[in-house]
């Protein structure tokens, strides 16, 4: 595979690209990986702890929140069912996306003689890091290929990671994946647009970081459930009162 124009520009860039600058850049990436990698691990452990207490005391929490909400029991249940349904879709979508991105990167990187299993897993985990995502993995590998004279290889890794993985899988495919999970796997009757779930995930990540994957859709689902509740019960009662 050959990219003549890009190849020439990169060659000019490499003429002034020293081993010291590469080392400095890799050190910056390493510090970033260490910082956010540790945060990702602590967040994952915290989530596991929450899941443990949720499964152990889940029924008590559920009954408690049903009791404290200023709604009728059947109304509270509908709100919780809608929020829980959307969270199930979001979590499964995120898990499948991580797997797809890791597999796509692992299959590609094998062509360059690297360990596809390890780097695919690392790429999948890195995709959960807000803002940078899989760039934490593919940029150092692209630099490694550049340093060893494989300009075309570095360009291919960059284009593949950006266009196929970041754009196609993470941005284009994800809304269709949400539709598939909603209709085919959970077979839910939730009346919420798939693009709204998708953009709530993006907005949540931009505002809350890693936790935004859960927080964004939760806030959106809760707000929509309350609006629908207001529409179905209170507006309907007002109309019945006006007719009388």
Which residue did the predictor score with more confidence, 233 or 10? Answer: 233
Tokens read off for 27? 């050190």
Quote the CA–CA distance of 157 and 137 in Å, as a whole number: 11
Per-residue pLDDT of 95-111, as tens digits, reads 899 999 999 999 999 99
Per-residue pLDDT of 40-80, as tens digits, reads 677 767 767 776 777 777 778 778 777 777 777 787 788 88
Question: In sequence order, which residues have a C-beta less than 8 Å from that of residue 135 and are 6 or more positions away?
Answer: 126, 161
Mean pLDDT along residues 157-176: 90
Whole-structure pTM value: 0.72
Report the chain's mean pLDDT, rounded to a whole number. 78
Identify the CA nearest to 161 among candidates 205, 102, 203: 102
The size of the chain, in residues, is 244
Tokens read off for 133? 């995502």
Quote the CA–CA distance of 180 and 94 in Å, as a whole number: 13
What band does 120 get if pLDDT is binned at 50, 70 and 90? very high
Quote the CA–CA distance of 56 and 51 in Å, as a whole number: 8
Cα angle for residues 135, 137, 142 (degrees, 5° grid): 85
Question: In sequence order, which residues have a C-beta less than 8 Å from that of residue 129 and are 6 or more positions away?
Answer: 36, 40, 136, 210
Contact indicator for 79, 225 with CB cutoff of 8 Å: yes
Identify the CA nearest to 39 among candidates 219, 217, 208: 208
Give Cα 76 distance to the centre of its chain.
29
Quote the CA–CA distance of 68 and 229 in Å, as a whole number: 17
Give Cα 99 distance to the centre of its chain.
11
What band does 28 get if pLDDT is binned at 50, 70 and 90? low
């Amino acid at each position: 595979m050959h990219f003549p124009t890009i190849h020439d520009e990169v060659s000019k860039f490499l003429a002034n690209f020293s081993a010291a600058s590469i080392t400095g850049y890799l050190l910056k990436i390493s510090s970033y990986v260490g910082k956010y990698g540790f945060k990702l691990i602590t967040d994952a452990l915290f989530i596991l702890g929450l899941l443990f207490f949720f499964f152990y005391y889940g029924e008590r929490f559920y009954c408690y929140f049903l009791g404290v909400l200023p709604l009728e029991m059947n109304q509270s249940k509908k709100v919780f069912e809608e929020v829980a349904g959307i969270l199930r879709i979001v979590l499964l979508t995120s898990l499948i996306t991580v797997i797809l991105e890791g597999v796509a990167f692992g299959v590609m990187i094998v062509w360059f003689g690297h360990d596809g299993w390890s780097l695919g897993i690392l790429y999948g985990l890195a995709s959960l890091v807000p803002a940078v995502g899989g760039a934490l993995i593919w940029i150092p590998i692209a630099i490694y290929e550049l340093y060893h004279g494989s300009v075309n290889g570095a360009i291919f890794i960059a284009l593949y990671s950006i266009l196929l993985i970041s754009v196609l899988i993470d941005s284009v495919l994800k809304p269709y994946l949400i539709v598939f999970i909603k209709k085919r796997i959970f077979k839910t009757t939730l009346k919420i647009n798939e693009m709204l779930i998708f953009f709530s995930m993006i907005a949540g990540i931009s505002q809350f970081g890693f936790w935004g994957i859960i927080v964004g859709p939760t806030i959106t689902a809760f707000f929509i459930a309350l609006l629908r509740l207001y529409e179905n019960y209170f507006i309907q009662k007002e109309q019945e009162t006006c007719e009388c």
